[in-house]
Amino acid sequence: MPSEIRALFAMVARPEVVSLAGGAPYVSALPLDVVGDMIGDLVANRGAEALQYGSAQGDVVLRERICDVMALEGITASADDVVVTVGAQQALDLVTKIFVDPGDVVLAEAPSYVGALGTFASYQADVVHVPLDEGGLIPAALRETLDRLTREGRRVKFLYTVPNFQNPSGVTLTTARRAQILEICAAYDVLVIEDNPYGLLGFDGEPTRAMRADDSERVIYLGSFSKTIASGLRVGWALAPHAVRAKLVLAAESAVLCHPALSQVAVREYLTTQPWREQIKSFRELYRSRRDAMLDALDALMPDGCTWTRPGGGFFVWLTLPEGLDAKAMAPRAIAERVAYVPGTGFYADGGGRRNMRLSYCFPEPDRIREGVRRLAGVIESEIRMRDTFGGVRPGAASGGVHTPGPGVV
């Protein structure tokens, strides 16, 4: 986490601040009594398994349940090709460790998930951004970028993409573009890392078909129960082509020996005995009402010149400030007005995003969201007046290096 974001989060923890910054799911919406009984019984009756070392690849029945979950997005997979990881973050870390040598290029959307940028930086990858718009990553821009990098003789290891309700932009890659992107990556022989924590949290219709559903050889799919069950269990996974899967298991062993059995058997039991599809539906309704609260408030309150995305699912809205404003410089003033967001610069490896901010609606109640947007609109209006009076941007702190965020920025 860049130190200035760290400082910001310390302030955000104060109860009088409305935080539109965090990416934490609203786990209190789970039936905690039921889940508590379930986990308590597991330990009491099957503690010899739940409290013991497990295999490095992960529990086989859990991996079968994971295949059931992925089937909702059109994926046909064998449990043998799944590796259970400490959140999808660990899957991303291990994939990067396996594939990336210092100086290799990794392609990522502009903007991209800050935690991924931190991992890429930790292996000294050179992140090259590819722009996105309301329809997700732009295929023509991807092709141009690959053309240029090829001419320059650069080695591109993979494209990292969050196709559904992207973090931080909230946009979703269209179906047509998914096929185009797979085609382009095949032409340039580039792997695709499809990171999909939010795919089942769409507000309209059925889940979008995963890219992995149409290409089992080129796509490494990363999944997570952090947003559909509970983030504190840290159960994620990678579904990888067979040869990569073998390397992932060795890398996971070397990194943590094995995933916590307690978390694994809890998720396995939850998926086996609890109405998990209905619970996801109830999460969807919850987040939809919060998304509506945020968009309604933005529509009603934001000054002219601000624009924002209209997510069809997930947790995030991406807001662009009027020309001449700086979201990072403005952040301390927003905190002083008791509202917090994540400045856009954290989501770029190249200094971009100064006019952007990520607003999340996943955690606060709708009334708090409206109040947060009201405060934010006031801060932006005041910034616009300053700009109009003084004719420029007030200086902000210099852009920090790229680091993984704390869990608050997930």
- Positions touching a copy of itself (CB under 8 A) are 1, 24-25, 27-28, 30, 32-33, 35-37, 39-45, 47-56, 86-87, 89-90, 93, 97, 115, 118-119, 121-122, 226, 230-234, 250-251, 253-263, 266, 403-408, 410
Q: How far is the CB of 254 from a copy of itself (least distance, A)?
A: 4
Measured from the CB atom, is 26 or 188 closer to a copy of itself? Answer: 26
Q: How far is the CB of 265 from a copy of itself (least distance, A)?
A: 8
CB–CB of 74/213 below 8 Å?
yes
Question: CA nearest 131: which of 151, 155, 112?
Answer: 112
Q: How far is the CB of 246 from a copy of itself (least distance, A)?
A: 10
Measured from the CB atom, is 5 or 18 closer to a copy of itself? Answer: 5
Strands (E), 7-70: 18-19
Measured from the CB atom, is 119 or 345 closer to a copy of itself? Answer: 119
Hunting for tokens 């933005």 — which residue is that? 298
Q: How far is the CB of 269 from a copy of itself (least distance, A)?
A: 12
Query: What φ, ψ does residue 252 adopt, rounded to 5°?
Result: -65, -40
The upper half-sphere exposure of residue 306, i.e. CA atoms within 13 Å in the direction of its Cβ, equals 27
Q: How far is the CB of 49 from a copy of itself (least distance, A)?
A: 8
Measured from the CB atom, is 173 or 251 closer to a copy of itself? Answer: 251
Query: What φ, ψ does residue 394 adopt, rounded to 5°?
Result: -70, 145
Q: How far is the CB of 157 from a copy of itself (least distance, A)?
A: 17
Measured from the CB atom, is 253 or 285 closer to a copy of itself? Answer: 253
Q: How far is the CB of 164 from a copy of itself (least distance, A)?
A: 19
Q: Three-state DSSP class for 358?
A: strand
Six token digits for residue 387: 């700009």
Residues 6+ apart with CB under 8 A from 82: 57, 58, 63, 66, 67, 237, 238, 239, 245
Count of Cβ atoms closer than 10 Å to residue 44 Cβ: 9
CB–CB of 207/73 below 8 Å?
yes
Measured from the CB atom, is 2 or 139 closer to a copy of itself? Answer: 2
Measured from the CB atom, is 275 or 305 closer to a copy of itself? Answer: 275
CA distance 350 to 127: 8
